[in-house]
Structure 1
Amino acid sequence: MTTDHAATARLRRLVGLWSGDDRRSDVTTAVTLFVLGWLFLQVGLVDLFNGGPFGATTPEPWWRVALLAVGCALTLAKRSRPMLALAGGVGVTLVDLAWGGSLAILLVLWDLLYAAAMWSGTTARRWLWGTAIVLSVAGAVAAGESSRDVRAFVYAGLNLGAILLVPMWWATNVRQKSELAAVERSRADEARRTAELERERAADLARIAELDRHEAVRAERAAMARDLHDVIASHLSTIAIHSGAALSTPPDAARDRGALEQVRASAVASLTEMRSMIGLLRADAPRDPLAAPGRLDRLDDLLDVARAAGTAVTTEDPGGVARADLPAAVGHALYRIAQEALTNARKHAPGAPVTVRLARGPRPRGGAVLLEVRNAPPPTGPGPAVDAAGMPLSAGTGMLTMRERAEALGGTFEAGATDDGGWAVRARVPAGAETGGRNEGTAG
């Protein structure tokens, strides 16, 4: 097996050398032809066509060597000017035929014919094939007619075909294989480029999916932050306010008991809301009661909690909006906004009366719901809410969460001081067919 591989490798190197795949091999080929031709001249492989049509003469031996050198020099231009080099080779061959012909010049002619069929253009190759076939046929017919012998016709045809057609056929075969190899390389390159593009596309899709996951996580975290602030912070603020009031005044059994009862009620409510949120986060298919534990129809319970905390709350709902059949998302958002607004009123305006107003706009397409929570100025003047130890009770995100809840449903939110020194929060949220889009009506 090793010997076969070595022989195959040597054959491939020889074919590569002969076919001239590398321009640097042209010089080597020319030198090789000259050395082989010189050996053929030395052993007497001359006068192959004595008695031919040219009337053979016998030149000096060095003339044949010089003619061989000229032919080998022409092979150096076979790649850049194949047809011009072949024309010069034909002239050298005609001179050699006049001297009787030699195998050395035939080798040069074969190489030039191979080069012309290999590297010339399409039109030149067609003319070359046509001329070679005509010469082969004409020479065979002439030989047969001159001798009146079929054997002479066949012999001349075979010789002319071997001299003129075989190197061209070999070059055509090599050219076709080279072109097929180039096409296969092009296809392989295209396949690699396609695979690279597919890999880049898959990487882009993976990055997009990762960004989508990050965005979903961010949105979920923002929603959780809003719920934690609206649900838990409200109750904890109530606990802090009542406990701070109890600690900052002289002991009174009845008052302390009432404060502890309110603290316990707020703590139980916080635990209930926390369990609902934990159930939502852990459930594979959360139900509506878990997704929206606070609805506008529970507004009375929210107001009762505020009244129990010592806030005087009045309600204005002439249209019965709190008991109307609203979409779950609208009711949940309005409930949370009212809860946060009442909590802010207790923290920043303790003792001030609060008015909660609900109204609904025109109903050609469902109308829009207006929620307004207004508090009067606090008896002691406005100021930041702090506990008994002087720590602030607000995280400063209440306004942001209320605005996000209203705008998430296509509504509007505004808050600011009133003319009498109080504070008002207004949220307008589309209902019915307008939910999720901008409200075009005017509520109230």
Structure 2
Amino acid sequence: MESGPERAPWSPRRDVLVAALYVVVVVMLGGIGGLGIGAQGLLAQGPLWSNGTSIALLVPAALATALRHRAPAVTLVVTGTLSCAEVLGGSTIGGYVLLFEALWSPVAYGSRRLARVTSGAGAAISIAMVAVTSTWPQPGPSIVVGLLLIVVVVGTPLAWGWEVRHLHLARATAERLASAEQELAAERAERAVETERRRLAQDLHDVLSGHLSAVALHAGLAAQLPSADARERSLATTRDSAQAALRDLRSVITMLTDENAVEPEVTLSWDALAARLDAGEHAADTVGRADGADGPDGPDGRSVVHVDPAVEDPARVDPTLRAALLRIGAEAVANALAHGRAPRRLHVVADADAVDLICTNAFVPGHVRADDSPGLGLTTMRSRALAVGGSLNAGPDATDPRTWRVEVRVPIRDHSPLTTEVT
């Protein structure tokens, strides 16, 4: 059975008071204290029983209205049956009053099935009234009386009950929609907070991790270098990276505290990345020579940075895209310095459709993670590439298992055709 329409919490005490009021009404209409209002049953020209019998029938019918919210089916059966009996053969109009309530309450407060059953019962009562009144001595006026009774006693409570029911259903639907909208708004707010949190974490990682990785690497190497020139070069790189980290940190703090700030200022440059690789190469080469070892890969084992001039042209590559490539490149260089070996190479080239960033370094197979659970750096680079519509592949080179290769391809948006040769 379907449940009834949702309503505001009802009070059993209120229903008891309504039932007590009905008891008082039917007793007063029954003739107690000289206030009786006479009536005749529909089955005969006069009542079939006395006022006392009518009161005896209607008091239980009135008491059953106390269940109109909790058990409207009981009100329909008990109140409806006893009030119909009074209407057919009783002596007071209290039966009409309670019949009104017996038809209204189940429609307004009951389940949809009960409301339909009540409407069917009202139709049956209407047919019975027309049939009974048509047997009176004057059929014409009698049928008019029957139709009037149908409109007032049956039609009005049913129509009113359905209207109240629809109002309750509309209110409940509106409340559910409002609640769902509030939940959706809360979910959107939580999602926005989570997205902002991830973006800030990514920005902090991108703008600081590369600088701080360079600081840690070169500060540690400076103490091991026997050459004064190598130490000076490593310390200069350490100083420059620390200053860049401070500038980036101030930029992020400004973005968090200034409502007019949109994005943190990018202090990275391809030259800075080249300097990191070059300083790392010199440091590793000097340490190797001090240990009596040859350079990493002989005379050709030098780090190389090549950036296509087209990438620096804002008319060809959007500055936002360039900033994303710089951050990806910074992370790739930081990983190559921290986990790889020389030679380390970074190539950034552009064609008519996309920009390719390729970072390679030697590594010892088995010492670098090449599974499907990348670290934060690789995840950040992939997220950056996806954010600008690109893709990222990382892993051992297919042609040389001793080389780790990070390859990013990002499509150029709103670019003009390239007119110069790309190397």
1:320 aligns to what SS in structure 2? helix
2:394 aligns to what SS in structure 1? strand
Number of the residue aligned with 1:10: 24
Number of the residue aligned with 1:428: 409
The change in CA–CA distance for 1:33 and 1:426 in structure 2 (over 3 A counts) is same
Q: Quote the Cα distance in structure 2 between the aligned partners of 1:209 and 1:131.
A: 66
Q: Quote the Cα distance in structure 2 between the aligned partners of 1:360 and 1:414.
A: 18
1:266 equivalenced with 2:241 (yes/no): yes
The change in CA–CA distance for 1:331 and 1:182 in structure 2 (over 3 A counts) is same
Pick one of 172, 195, 202 that aligns with 2:171.
195
Q: Quote the Cα distance in structure 2 between the aligned partners of 1:251 and 1:314.
A: 24
Q: Quote the Cα distance in structure 2 between the aligned partners of 1:369 and 1:433.
A: 13
1:400 equivalenced with 2:379 (yes/no): yes
Please list the CA deviations of residues 48-84 of structure 1 after superposition, one character each: whole Å capped at 9, or x if unmatched.
Answer: xxxxxxxxxxxxxxxxxxxxxxxxxxxx9994798xx
Q: Is the 8 A contact 1:360 1:369 kept in 2?
A: yes
Number of the residue aligned with 1:369: 355
2:214 aligns to what SS in structure 1? helix
1:293 aligns to what SS in structure 2? coil
Q: What TM-score, normalized by structure 2, do the two folds share?
A: 0.59
The change in CA–CA distance for 1:219 and 1:14 in structure 2 (over 3 A counts) is same
Number of the residue aligned with 2:210: 234
Matched AA of 2:272 = D
Please list the CA deviations of residues 289-339 of structure 1 after superposition, one character each: whole Å capped at 9, or x if unmatched.
Answer: x345257xx322332343244465423345633335312332122111111
Q: Is the 8 A contact 1:299 1:322 kept in 2?
A: no
Q: Write 1 or 2 for the structure with the bigger share of helix.
A: 1
The change in CA–CA distance for 1:7 and 1:174 in structure 2 (over 3 A counts) is farther
Number of the residue aligned with 1:323: 313
Which residues of 2 match residues 18-167 of structure 1 at below 5 A?
A: 32-33=50-51, 79=84, 121-126=125-130, 128-129=132-133, 131-132=135-136, 134=138
> Which sections of structure 1, spanning at least 5 residues, go unmatched?
1-5, 20-28, 37-75, 87-106, 138-163, 386-394, 435-442
> Bigger radius of gyration, 1 or 2?
1
Q: Quote the Cα distance in structure 1 between the aligned partners of 2:243 and 2:414.
A: 37
CA RMSD after TM alignment: 4.7
1:429 aligns to what SS in structure 2? strand
> Which sections of structure 2, spanning at least 5 residues, go unmatched?
1-19, 38-46, 55-80, 100-121, 283-301, 416-421
Please list the CA deviations of residues 353-400 of structure 1 after superposition, one character each: whole Å capped at 9, or x if unmatched.
Answer: 322222233x3xxx111111122458xx99579xxxxxxxxx931111
2:259 aligns to what SS in structure 1? coil
Matched AA of 1:183 = A
Number of the residue aligned with 1:275: 250
Pick one of 212, 221, 233 that aligns with 2:188.
212
The change in CA–CA distance for 1:283 and 1:112 in structure 2 (over 3 A counts) is closer
Pick one of 250, 262, 266 that aligns with 1:293.
266
Moved more, 186-195 or 174-183: 174-183
Number of the residue aligned with 1:334: 325
Matched AA of 2:259 = D
Pick one of 314, 317, 321 that aligns with 2:304.
314
How many aligned positions are there?
A: 311
Q: Quote the Cα distance in structure 1 between the aligned partners of 2:331 and 2:396.
A: 17
Matched AA of 2:348 = L
Residue 341 of structure 1: how far off its partner (Å): 0.9
Residue 402 of structure 1: how far off its partner (Å): 0.7
1:285 aligns to what SS in structure 2? coil
Percent identical pairs in the alignment equals 23
The change in CA–CA distance for 1:228 and 1:368 in structure 2 (over 3 A counts) is same
Q: Quote the Cα distance in structure 2 between the aligned partners of 1:340 and 1:177.
A: 83
Matched AA of 1:10 = V
Q: What TM-score, normalized by structure 1, do the two folds share?
A: 0.56
